Amino acid sequence: MQPFEGRRRQLLRGALSAAAALLLKGSEPSALRPPDRARDPARPDSRSRLSAETSMTMGCKAWIAGCSGTSLTEDERRFFADERPWGFILFGRNIHSAEQLSDLVAALKDVGGRERVPVFVDQEGGRVQRLRPPLAPSYPPSATLGRIHDADPRKGERAAWLQGRLLAHDLMGYGINADCLPCLDLPVEGAHSVIGDRAYGTDPVVVATLGRAAADGLVAGGVLPVMKHMPGHGRGNADSHLELPVVDAHRSTLAERDFAPFVALKTLPAAMTAHLLFTDIDPTFPATLSPIVIESVIRHEIGFDGLLMTDDMSMKALRGDIGDLARQAISAGCDVALHCNGDMAEMRKVASAVQPLRDEALRRALHAEAFLAPHRPSLDEAGLRAEFDELVARVA
């Protein structure tokens, strides 16, 4: 094994809990291999490229932007060049054809002005797939992988890794290099169905196992994984796209179950917050806007020190001026504010509210960027798809 590969695998697995570690012992997918970054820090030319890249990232502001359509308008080009979002995110409205999508991603990276511009998408499988046939195959929801695991834990873990690896291959074919996956939420009886089958299951160890495997698969394909929705969306009694969910569970109950998968995967490079109000922790502010939740729970109790991005600031769970909300999220401890709807008036407010990346947020952003492969790694696509389809067929 190459030293770089060993460090990456250690990074992704180092924080697994004792229970998860025992469960996973000896079950690593043998195909795991981080993408070749083609940047050896020991080489002077590599050091100079990394230094230039760091300087470019230092000029980026602490936000991620969406765009309005299938190509950038001239106003968007000028605006993004001036306001320098750290990254971009794509939705169904931005996707029409293979050539168009590749051109749009290239334009976003060009206006981003540096090699490692993160371009995010929500590509989970099941209900949440921004790229659909013929641009990318359909995948089962995460709950299907959980059922495979119920029948055979090793096969379930392998299926989760394969899905992550194949998703990465699909996305990197268009230049998309970041996926908001894995979903580590633990749904409970009576909760809103917005999570539902997007979850791997209801057992924290199983969710951590399959989430870790999916993240490994993404990284092997050169794609940055973003775990969500920290510190847990499974108990939400509403859809946060439409209104603010309220969770009344005691903090000790949340720590025992809801936080556990995030603790197990706390060394992953990036995470997304949940727009939920946890009344026993902070009865005033939802997690995204709460210094108590972010500092006491996410940073201290969970122990996450990676890049923390908000969920979409334009979701209806958050009320108020969008600029004030973005400012509050950053002040509360989020590193980057995510704004998805492509509305120019709202984007101007968000961009005016946030500052350039610096200090810990800059360090975390650079660490996350290190997971972005410059090119799509090679893959026996037909062989892995056949293996994956066979595993899924077992629970069809």
**Distances in whole angstroms, Cα of residue 7 to Cα of each of 13, 21, 41, 224, 380:** 10, 17, 14, 16, 24
3-21+63-393: CATH class: alpha beta
Q: What is the pLDDT of residue 239?
A: 83
**Cα 27 to chain centroid, rounded:** 24
Q: What distance in Å separates the CA atoms of residue 88 and residue 336, rounded to the nearest whole number?
A: 12
The answer to whether residue 39 scores a pLDDT higher than 70 is: no
Catalytic entry in 197, 216, 311, 312: 311
CA distance 367 to 101: 27
Query: Residue 5: which pLDDT band, with cuts at 50, 70 and 90?
Result: very low
Closest CA to 265 of 16, 6, 8: 16
Instruction: List the single range of 11-25, 233-247, 333-347 with lowest mean pLDDT.
Output: 11-25
Res 302 pLDDT > 80:
yes
Catalytic residue among 75, 150, 152, 241: 241
**pLDDT class of 53 with cuts at 50, 70, 90:** low
The sign of the torsion formed by the CA atoms of 18, 23, 24, 26 equals: positive
Chain centroid offset of residue 91 CA: 14
Closest CA to 123 of 191, 201, 217, 207: 217
Averaged pLDDT for residues 38-43: 36
pLDDT of amino acid 356: 96
Is the separation of the CB atoms in 84 and 59 below 8 Å? yes
Kindly tell me if the per-residue pLDDT of 22 is higher than 60: no
Tens digits of residue pLDDT in 219-269: 999 999 999 999 999 998 888 898 899 999 999 999 999 999 999 999 999
Asked whether 109 and 119 are in contact (CB, 8 A), the reply is: yes
Task: Tell me which of 43 and 145 has the higher pLDDT.
Answer: 145
Structure tokens at 273: 């917050």
Q: Tell me the residue ranges of DSSP E strands in the chain.
A: 61-65, 85-90, 119-121, 123-125, 128-129, 178-179, 224-225, 227-230, 246-247, 270-273, 277-278, 307-309, 337-339
Burial degree of 348 (CB within 10 A; 0-12, 13-18, 19+): middle
Residues in the chain: 396
Q: Which residue has the higher pLDDT, 24 or 175?
A: 175
pLDDT score, position 94: 98
pLDDT for 362 equals 96
- pLDDT-derived band of residue 52, with 50, 70 and 90 as boundaries? low
Which amino acid does the sequence have at 372?
Answer: L
pLDDT above 70 (res 11): no
Average pLDDT taken over every residue of the chain: 89
Model pLDDT for residues 120-138, shown as the tens digit of each residue: 999 999 999 999 999 999 9
Q: Is 311 a catalytic residue?
A: yes
Q: What is the mean pLDDT of residues 341-354?
A: 98
CA proximity to 158, closest of 107, 220, 108: 220
> In sequence order, which residues have a C-beta less than 8 Å from that of residue 21 and are 6 or more positions away?
none
Residue type, position 375, single letter: H
Mean pLDDT of 93-108: 98
